Amino acid sequence: MSEKAKASHGAEKIAEQAVERSSPPGKVVYEAIYHEGEHEIGRTPRSLAWSGLAAGLSMGFSFLMEGLLRDYLPAGHWQPAIAKFGYGMGFLIVILGRQQLFTKNTLTVILPLLRRKKVSLLKTVTRLWMIVLMTNLAGAIAFAWLMLHSDICSSAVKDNFVQMAAETLGHSFCSSLLRSIIAGWIIALMIWLLPFAETAHIWIIIFLAYLIGIAHLPHVIAGTVPSFYAVFYGTSSLGEWFSHFFVPVALGNAIGGVTVVAMVAHAEFVDEAGKKAAHWTK
């Protein structure tokens, strides 16, 4: 092999290694999430409902895990910093199990909607959101009822549940709305980090969920378990849950998540496509 051929071959090997070691372009991440959104849109309502119910039940394990950690950890001002690691348990189960969670999988369908801009697709996305949200809530509420009315947990752990429920409720509408927008933002960022995270999937989920928990940023499904525990326990009413928790938190999570998705979609699709004019069609 000539010196020139050897140099060319060496340059090719260096280029291949550079590609292997570099992060994927933003457009590749966009396309991966776009295709995931297309898949979600194509699922049947029954499939979405069962998956959403499973996700709602799974999110209850965040509540259970944190309550157990509070029970086993000694009292101290640092206790919440450790106990809040339990908050990520439900997110781990839901995301790695590919279950339908409002603010997670449902946000991916925004990309096909932004690209195709069809009224019929908007109706499909809205229906998907409603199915997932309602079944998520049903699963979370069922888990809260089970924790209160069974002997699965000791009385000491149930006392922790009552305290966690009180921490979830009691905030003003505006405070809950603003903090839940940030929570929705973080969940949306999680979506963009996961496709090419490779072996770091678990750590991304744990630490971003931990950030939501330790900062007391409300999540509409994770927070429904402790807040409905308070309803079943009698320290809060259904009306208080709906007006002071569900409405501001569901709205804030959606605003925060969709904003991030829309911003990334604009940067990766609209700008790179030459900023072509897009109009809504039937």
pLDDT tens for each residue of 151-199: 999 999 999 999 999 999 988 999 999 999 999 999 988 888 887 776 7
DSSP bridge pairs for 118: 281
Q: Using one digit for the tens of pLDDT, what is the confidence trace for 226-256? A: 999 999 999 999 999 999 999 999 999 999 9
234: helix, coil or strand? coil
Please determine, for residue 87, whether its predicted confidence score (pLDDT) is greater than 60: yes
Q: Where are the beta strands (DSSP E) in 116-239?
A: none
pTM of the model: 0.85
* Residue 271, CB-side half-sphere exposure with 13 Å CA sphere: 10
Structure tokens at 91: 């997110």
Exposed, middle or buried: residue 124 (CB in 10 Å: 0-12, 13-18, 19+)?
middle
Give the integer Cα–Cα distance in Å for 173 and 176.
5
Give the integer Cα–Cα distance in Å for 97 and 276.
38
Q: Using one digit for the tens of pLDDT, what is the confidence trace for 70-84? A: 999 998 888 989 999
The size of the chain, in residues, is: 282
What pLDDT does 104 receive? 79
The DSSP result for 173-206, as a single string, is HHHHHHHHHHHHHHHHHHHHHSTT-GGGHHHHHH
Give the integer Cα–Cα distance in Å for 31 and 276.
18
Cα of 138 vs its chain's centroid, Å: 17
- What ranges do the domains of the chain cover? 25-270
What pLDDT does 273 receive? 47
25-270 is classed CATH 1.20.1080.10: yes
Q: Which amino acid is at 75?
A: A
